[in-house]
Structure 1
Amino acid sequence: MGNRLSKIYTKTGDDGTTGLGDGTRVAKDSARVTAYGTVDEANSCIGLLLAAEMPDDVRDLLTRVQHQLFDLGGELCIPGHAAISDADVEALEARLDHYNDGLPPLKDFILPGGGEAAARCHVARTVVRRAERDTVALSRHDAVRAQAIRYLNRLSDLLFVLARVLARASGHGEVLWNHDRRK
């Protein structure tokens, strides 16, 4: 494990820069900092989601995801570092298939909602989508491993399916978009 922080503020960022994991300093609004910052925000959203009631298997999965998101943030913070593997992406796909198999096919768009846990899951999903966009933007001018982008893409899909699962588990059900409401 790296250095332990005994003092939280260092004043080294007062000039608008921050240190990457490899020691280099970059602007706090750089694409790299934006990407790993949004991954951190997504992880916080999942933490908020975990504060809601949900089935134990979903809780266990989301806790594993939080650890992987922390790993992914480290990968994005340290240029050249690899933390997310093809196996991590495949594991998300397996869980996605598992939860999706028990759901009826979609016939309508779903609005964010369906109870507290489902609504929080939708928020986490949208933040993960932004993290994916920010990571893709970073990849336009800096090396980003394909596994990082694929992981975020699958995770947002998984969170969509989990929101459906959580809406049903809560008894609220899914909130369907009413496209005929103006007729």
Structure 2
Amino acid sequence: MKIYTKTGDKGTTSLIYGQRVSKNDARVEAYGTCDETNSMIGLALSHLRNENFQEKEIIENVYHKIQTNLFHVGAELATPKGKEVKWSLTSLDVEEMEKQIDEWNSSLSELTNFILPGGHPAAAAFHVARTMARRAERCAVSLGEEVNPLVLAYLNRLSDLLFITARYVNNRLGTAEQTLHEKSK
């Protein structure tokens, strides 16, 4: 099977069910940003490949499910209004992330200042994925009422989880967080 189809050479692509739209269509932007987020999560996980710490496998398992869910979120966003969504999120998907956020956050020091994205390369990549998840959420919001509210909740909670994961990875690997410096008067 060839990977190229040439059907997008004139600036259009297909949504699920075959409807052709411009590649700058709001739906394409929304599901494309989910794909970017997913790829950045993969990069973040690849930075953990040679690290050894007790919680690494748990992080990998949590994000394997999230990466799978992001494919499904993208598919839902690529489904035209009025068409049947072949897969959809449940409130349990959001609740699972909330439980993970609470668990990992409980082991971290309380935030008393803004932190700068960075630290270990994996943590820095999780921070970038967080900003991409926020952008995916904004893109999904721009689609209006036709978006499943659980998609919005999922993307919102995902960005929270990515933030906590970045902090958690830095903590577990002994990498100090950099705080925002106040401007001198």
TM-score with structure 2 length normalisation? 0.90
Question: How many corresponding residue pairs?
Answer: 175
What's the RMSD between the two structures over aligned residues?
1.3
* Cα separation, 2, equivalents of 1:179 and 1:70: 40
- Helix, strand or coil for the counterpart of 1:78? coil
Aligned to 1:38: 33
* Cα separation, 1, equivalents of 2:77 and 2:25: 12
Please point out which of 5, 9, 22 is paired with 2:4.
9
Matched, 1:23 2:18: yes
Matched, 1:165 2:168: yes
Deviation at 1:64, TM superposition (A): 1.2
* Cα separation, 1, equivalents of 2:182 and 2:123: 21
* Cα separation, 2, equivalents of 1:60 and 1:175: 28
- Helix, strand or coil for the counterpart of 1:18? strand
Stretches (4+) displaced over 4 A: none
- Helix, strand or coil for the counterpart of 1:96? helix
C-alpha contact (below 8 Å) 2:108/2:171 kept by paired residues: no
* Cα separation, 2, equivalents of 1:132 and 1:110: 22
* Cα separation, 1, equivalents of 2:58 and 2:165: 11
- Helix, strand or coil for the counterpart of 2:21? strand
Matched, 1:52 2:47: yes
* Cα separation, 2, equivalents of 1:172 and 1:50: 16
* Cα separation, 1, equivalents of 2:67 and 2:92: 16
Deviation at 1:58, TM superposition (A): 1.0
Deviation at 1:16, TM superposition (A): 1.1
Matched, 1:109 2:109: no
* Cα separation, 2, equivalents of 1:94 and 1:57: 13
* Cα separation, 2, equivalents of 1:135 and 1:154: 14
Q: Mind listing any 5+ residue stretches in structure 1 that lack a counterpart?
A: 1-5
Q: Mind listing any 5+ residue stretches in structure 2 that lack a counterpart?
A: none
Aligned to 2:72: 71
Percentage identity across aligned positions? Answer: 47
* Cα separation, 2, equivalents of 1:174 and 1:102: 15
Deviation at 1:120, TM superposition (A): 0.8
* Cα separation, 1, equivalents of 2:26 and 2:20: 13
Matched, 1:95 2:100: yes
- Helix, strand or coil for the counterpart of 2:71? helix
The one-letter code sitting in structure 2 at the alignment partner of 1:19 is: S
* Cα separation, 1, equivalents of 2:149 and 2:103: 24
Deviation at 1:179, TM superposition (A): 1.3
